[in-house]
Structure 1
Amino acid sequence: MVPPFLSVREGLYRMEEIMGVILAAGKGTRMYPFSARYPKPLLPICNKPLIQYQIETLKALQIKKIIIVIGHLGFEIVRVLGDGSRYDVQIQYIEQPDTLGIAHAVGKLEPYIHSPFMLFLGDIFFKTQGLMPMIELLRRGEANAVLATKYEKDNEAIKRNFAVLCHEDGRVKRVIEKPRYITNNLKGCGLYLFDLHIFDAIRRTPRTAIRDEYEITEAIQILIDDGFTVRHTEVITDDVNMTFAADLLLCNLKELKNQGLHYLIGSNRELNPACKIENSVIGNHVRILPDIEIKNSLIFDHVVIKDSGNLHNLIMSPENVIDCSYIWKNGRETAEGP
């Protein structure tokens, strides 16, 4: 058998040959009521859509050709992002009518991808130490796939994602989707770099019995079992899977802290001069008429607040108000649900 890395070494990819892929087709039913109006990738984090952070991450790597897979309310994503020119990237949209898992979505992209690609899940907010180490592994011919990982102290967080088991030399030997029993603290974080061999693996990936979907972890395991080289890099410092409404508030407060801000107020706002704002994000075109205190909260664009009464630990959109008090447990923030 030809060594799996040979095709990579023959090509030594340039940065402009690597594409970006963002999966943004999910319905986000557990994010209700926001999912009825907003696709998850457009939900605001410090007054910027979640997906914009991912686009900016790709651009910083000089990856400017991006495919976005859309489905639920996909027209809204197209309306907001357009052709990508405002972000200095080129965006191509591919529709996924049936959401049958990550591997299914990626497999549908084979006709459009002719070079390695970096894959982001469009509902994950992450912070990294820089993703260039992933690309360097591929460019040096040392891997056919690279997984972004995080050393995770919280076993429950690993159970919600996937576990990564490695050989002593750092090669990945097994990936386990949503494991019940934790044997190490290495968590996969929904960010991947693949060469084209992944498509052969996806074509042979069966639907899983548990979720009746085509899981990308199953495809990765097939890639490993076929003798190809999969590695990982611990480049993720923080990540939140936007599953429930309160996760959105958690992401905003994390990013507020990351920016070193006590609060953030958008443009074209009208605020009562006596209004007190603490550890909160206020969107654009917001009107706050009464003298109130807003703390640990997120206010969407175009919200008008007329009633008195302090607002603590909540998300307010033009259509809904969601109490997120349960994300504070023992005086600290947590991503756990109620």
Structure 2
Amino acid sequence: MKALVLAGGAGSRLRPITHTSAKQLVPVANKPVLFYGLEAIRDAGIREVGIVVGDTAKEIRRAVGDGSRFGLEVTYLPQEAPLGLAHAVLIARDFLGGDDFVMYLGDNFIVGGINDLVARFRRERPAAQIMLTRVSDPRAFGVAELDGSGRVIGLEEKPEKPKSDLALVGVYLFGPDVHEVVAGLKPSWRNELEITDAVQGLIDSGRRVESTMISGYWKDTGNVTDMLEVNRLVLESVEPSVEGSVDGASELIGRVVVEPGASVSGSRVVGPVIVGAGSVVRDSYVGPFTSIDRDCSVIDSEIEYSIVLRGASIDGVGRIECSLIGREAEVTPAPRVPKAHRLVLGDHSKVQISK
């Protein structure tokens, strides 16, 4: 079995972060989201991985390399434009050959990995196997319809009137029959080759499509709220470790990681928190569920439930919460100016001004 990892796309919901960085490389607990997916693929016993890349190809290549650091063999597959998930399968045809494969969206996060999913596919040998989860608003997802026995009988992409609340999670398993269907697909109303249409084509041709309800946690980390939630979840499992320096005037409470070369002085850090290598926390408060990447500085400030990316600095700021701070960003107080009101009042006016 091979893996096809999708790492293209513009990441518009994470702008402005993704103006200068691939969305799949935004870190969760100081590790890019993409890396969690690659590790899950490796742990499932898969070694050959094709990564579909677009405009951020250079950055993805620089981060992943040849895949050896993950125990993988990586082949890069350029995609001229984000023309749909099934288009990624189309351009990967030569790489995939006649092998079964798992397709994994590189900005998805799944707790518990895909070992059981892959084992079931190998054991039962359907034409395709999809992962499903219940969502509150299925109109934003691909949606599956099941029969009484739980077999997939229909799929729709972002329907106006969903037939169920079962959304497709960004992991799919296919046998080689899918290539025949993909080759005959027509673009949807979104001008994309939809993977839901490919799976529907397998169903319509009488091939068996099975589903698995996800038992763990899944998120599409496509927006800031979801990124912060996944960061919170991962930090819940960190083990405390202090390899950097912490002075006697500082207090570490709970699960706090201080990586090598980082320093904490005159500060209170309440975990779970990660302070990345080479970062400085001085005269500050760092609250729960905060990840500070490497080479950052937090000075005379307060921050919690946030992600701070590499090289950012926060200096003299009273309170930051629920925030995603980009690489090399600088956060400082606004200049202090006297408060004043400018008024142009008509005759006999009455104005109340709060102090």
* TM-score calculated relative to the size of structure 2: 0.79
Task: Give 1:122's aligned residue.
Answer: 106
| 1:106-145 alignment, distance < 5 Å | 106-114=89-97, 115-128=99-112, 130-145=113-128
1:257/1:180 CA distance change after superposition, 3 Å: farther
How far has the Cα of 1:167 moved from its partner?
2.4
Larger radius of gyration: 2
Task: Give 1:232's aligned residue.
Answer: 211
Uncovered stretches (5+) of structure 2, i.e. residues with no partner: 240-254, 256-271, 332-355
SS at match of 1:140: helix
Query: Does structure 2 retain, via aligned residues, the 8 Å contact 1:133–1:233?
Result: no
Task: Give 1:84's aligned residue.
Answer: 67
- Aligned AA for 2:157? E
- The Cα offsets for residues 67-93 of structure 1, whole Å up to 9 and x where unpaired, read as 101012110010011001111111111
C-alpha distance in 2, partners of 1:242/1:175?
23
- The Cα offsets for residues 82-115 of structure 1, whole Å up to 9 and x where unpaired, read as 0011111111111101221111111111111120
1:274/1:28 CA distance change after superposition, 3 Å: closer
Measured on the aligned residues, the alpha-carbon RMSD in Å equals 2.0
Task: Give 1:301's aligned residue.
Answer: 310
- Aligned AA for 1:49? P
| 1:242-261 alignment, distance < 5 Å | 242-259=221-238, 261=255
- Aligned AA for 1:267? A
Task: Give 1:263's aligned residue.
Answer: 273
* TM-score calculated relative to the size of structure 1: 0.83
Task: Give 1:155's aligned residue.
Answer: 136
- Aligned AA for 2:235? L
Task: Give 2:324's aligned residue.
Answer: 315
C-alpha distance in 2, partners of 1:310/1:141?
54
How far has the Cα of 1:274 moved from its partner?
4.4
Among all aligned residue pairs of Structure 1 and Structure 2, give the percentage whose two residues are the same amino acid. Answer: 26
How far has the Cα of 1:281 moved from its partner?
1.1
Task: Give 1:36's aligned residue.
Answer: 19
Aligned residues: 299
SS at match of 2:45: coil
SS at match of 2:324: strand
Task: Give 1:278's aligned residue.
Answer: 288
How far has the Cα of 1:244 moved from its partner?
2.6
C-alpha distance in 2, partners of 1:270/1:155?
41
Write 1 or 2 for the structure with the bigger share of helix: 1
How far has the Cα of 1:245 moved from its partner?
3.3
Matched, 1:188 2:168: yes
C-alpha distance in 1, partners of 2:118/2:156?
23
Task: Give 2:246's aligned residue.
Answer: none
| RCO higher in structure (CA 8 A, sep ≥6) | 1
C-alpha distance in 1, partners of 2:23/2:319?
28
Matched, 1:200 2:180: yes
Task: Give 2:202's aligned residue.
Answer: 223
